[in-house]
Structure 1
């Protein structure tokens, strides 16, 4: 059973979140709190596995409360964000601090939005609770863990002929904003490739993510726009609510955004991006799959490998918040290298910096 503490200054939101969670057999709501100070006292008293935490609260706001929770208790926290610009920026900050994930408060049609929120909330709380239980079940004597091994490992060798053109694509979900902060700022500003990133996130939040990463990086980072050129030395973050693909256009690359649905139901979808990049026959591709729930990206990697000229990298279980997306790709035998998040940028750079002789 996953024990949850619900923290929100709104009585309506406390009841709504509590009702949604108690309908799930795996979850027990053990208490509620109206602000950060009250939350910290109840954490000490009730010992929850997971916390849902409002960002905008009186007495002690969500960001300050999150810092305390992570510093003292190391518990997974699901942030509850508003749709305001300030709320979006605070959410990105909280994810970088170490929040497990977030959901957004209802904004439009209440009945429709509440249904969407319920599904997202339950999914995230269960994933967070599993991560807590796995840590609790770990042995007290810490020993080095062997790196996970793929069932089968695709053979990769750098092409010896043809144009030396590259493109990098990255797919990530839960834990992605913090993981991207450990990868993107380490890429050189003269990287010999464009980088296209799919981060599962709602509309509006990806712009704040792109701005934050751009502030931290030498390489230019921006939210992608439909029809713009994908140029070397630039990172393009797929907008939330849109699928992104890359196509050839008069000898260069162009970004295309659309609203097509995908089997994974994600928008943006890593599978969708990877499949489009796989069609770039005269480009050498680097595909990276990082922390996240589910298996988005695995089908796309399979198609990319079938097309050739691809180097695939997965984030290691050790550094993942959720080893779902990388694990699916590794188990399918689609990964050449498994890297700790701190080493992914170096691996990308080594692939695209190599000049053939």
Structure 2
């Protein structure tokens, strides 16, 4: 069995050794080389031809973002970014995903993390998953004009009108979206195509750690006609608004009087994730006062499949899965399709249109 060759790039010798040691312990992975700066990384990429690269976001000289742009232009390989959890680190990480990084790992405690062992299993799993990434799909996305983090002209958002009142118990529809690896790009593709007068709310579970979902929501809000925000516990769902589950919290829905509210909780992770798509879907399936359009997009693993079965058993759900052709990782959509409960399989650029057709 051919092993997955990894090039480890970090300006810290300690971090390079730690990451190398962790990855080398897995029987499917071999570290083919390390690089201490961006210039060395670009050279070794050409010499060693790795299957995956781990790349530190913050480096002196050529930054991780600059290295990533060179890699994607000259020799595209799956790249996993290692990021700090600061606000700037989160924004840089989302920019890296826009430039073509497959996924990222948040360092537990800064640029030199003595406790990196906490993310050993996650790092190993993401390297294996990245080795199977659809780089053709990433290339198609990256070759489009990259949207700036804060565009000069923000889409005009329609003012809240009577059509945008709180989603009451007699309301008809709710959109629920679940995604993971490759999700930020997929969410941008879908949410930016939804109209500003969208007559239903949107609930989104994107697998991300705490500190990153707020930056993601802010970025998507700046690009979309609908309002996009990080969900807050107890807030009333509004039509024309997308709520992204904050990292570290499961997101559920809860009736309160004539309204429907968001409930955030920290029960055990499901499928290794918190937030979990299954938890959201199962929560929505318990209430018969609205139907649901459930969407499962790119991501590794099977989160969302069991929840989708419960949603469909209620008889009040339509399900859309992203196609293999456009998924960066065809794990979650494949698992959803395997349940036999998916109504339509669509390429990511067609999903918003399919959602609107059901509405």
TM-score, length basis structure 2 = 0.87
- Whether the aligned pair in 2 keeps the contact of 1:210 and 1:222 (CA below 8 Å) is yes
- Give unmatched runs, 5+ long, in structure 1: 136-161, 353-357
Q: Is structure 2 residue 320 aligned with structure 1 residue 313?
A: yes
Q: How does 1:262-301 map to 2 (within 5 A)?
A: 262-301=269-308
Cα distance in 2 for residues equivalent to 1:64 and 1:320 = 25
Alignment CA distance shift 1:314-1:221 (3 Å): same
Report the alpha carbon displacement of residue 34 of structure 1 after superposing the two structures with TM.
Answer: 1.3
Equivalence for 1:84: 86
Match among 116, 120, 123 for residue 118 of structure 1: 120
**Matched-pair contact (CA < 8 Å) for 2:132–2:329:** no
* Offset of residue 202 of structure 1: 0.4
Q: CA deviation at 1:31?
A: 0.8
Counterpart for residue 154 of structure 2: none
Q: Check conservation: 2:174, 2:290, Cα contact below 8 A.
A: yes
Equivalent-residue separation in structure 1 for 2:256 and 2:170 (angstroms): 16
Match of 2:267 among 250, 260, 264: 260
1:233 aligns with 2:236: no
Structure 2 contact 175–200 (Cα < 8 Å) conserved: yes
Unaligned residue ranges in structure 2 (runs of 5+): 137-168
Question: What is the correspondence of 1:139-158 to structure 2 with a 5 Å cutoff?
Answer: none
In the TM superposition, what is the alpha-carbon distance from 1:85 to its structure 2 partner?
A: 1.2
Query: Structure 1 residue runs of 4+, over 3 Å off?
Result: 108-111
What RMSD over aligned residues (CA atoms) do the two structures have, in Å?
1.7
Measured in 2, the distance between the counterparts of 1:131 and 1:183 equals 20
Output one character per residue of 1:325-349: Cα deviation in whole Å (capped at 9) or x when no partner: 0100101101000010001111111
Match of 2:101 in 1: 99
Provide closer, same or farther for how the CA distance between residues 69 and 225 of structure 1 changes in structure 2, counting only shifts above 3 A: same
Q: Distance in 1 between matches of 2:223 and 2:287?
A: 30
SS at match of 1:182: helix
Q: Which residue of 2 aligns with 1:193?
A: 200
Partner residue, 1:75: 77
1:212 aligns with 2:219: yes
1:6 maps to 8
Give the aligned partner of residue 159 of structure 1: none
Q: Quote how far apart the aligned CAs of 1:263 are.
A: 3.7
Query: Cα offset for 1:71?
Result: 1.4
- Residue 151 of structure 1 is matched in structure 2 by none
Instruction: Give yes or no for contact 1:262–1:272 (8 Å, CA) kept in 2.
Output: no
1:157-194, Cα deviation, whole Å (9 max, x unpaired) = xxxxx956210000001110111111111111111110
Total equivalences in the alignment = 324
What corresponds to 1:142 in structure 2?
none
Distance 2:295 2:186 in 1: 12
**Which residue, out of 37, 45, 49, partners 1:47?**
49
Indicate conservation of the 8 Å contact 1:98/1:178, yes or no.
Answer: no
After superposition, the C-alpha distances for 1:139-162 in whole angstroms (9 at most, x for unaligned) are xxxxxxxxxxxxxxxxxxxxxxx9
Residues 51-66 of structure 1: pairs in structure 2 closer than 5 A: 51-66=53-68
Q: Structure 1 186/284 Cα, relative in aligned 2: closer, same or farther at 3 Å?
A: same
Deviations 1:59-101 (A, max 9, x none): 1001111111111112100000012111111001111222111
Give the whole-Å Cα distance in 1 for the aligned partners of 2:7 and 2:308. Answer: 38
Q: Is the 8 A contact 1:81 1:105 kept in 2?
A: yes
Match among 225, 230, 249 for residue 223 of structure 1: 230
Q: In 2, Cα distance between the equivalents of 1:60 and 1:110?
A: 21
Partner of 2:160: none
Distance in structure 2 (CA, Å) of the matches to 1:107 and 1:258: 24
Say if 1:69 and 1:110 are closer, same or farther in 2 by CA, change over 3 A: closer
Verify the 8 A CA contact 2:270 2:278 in the aligned structure 1. no
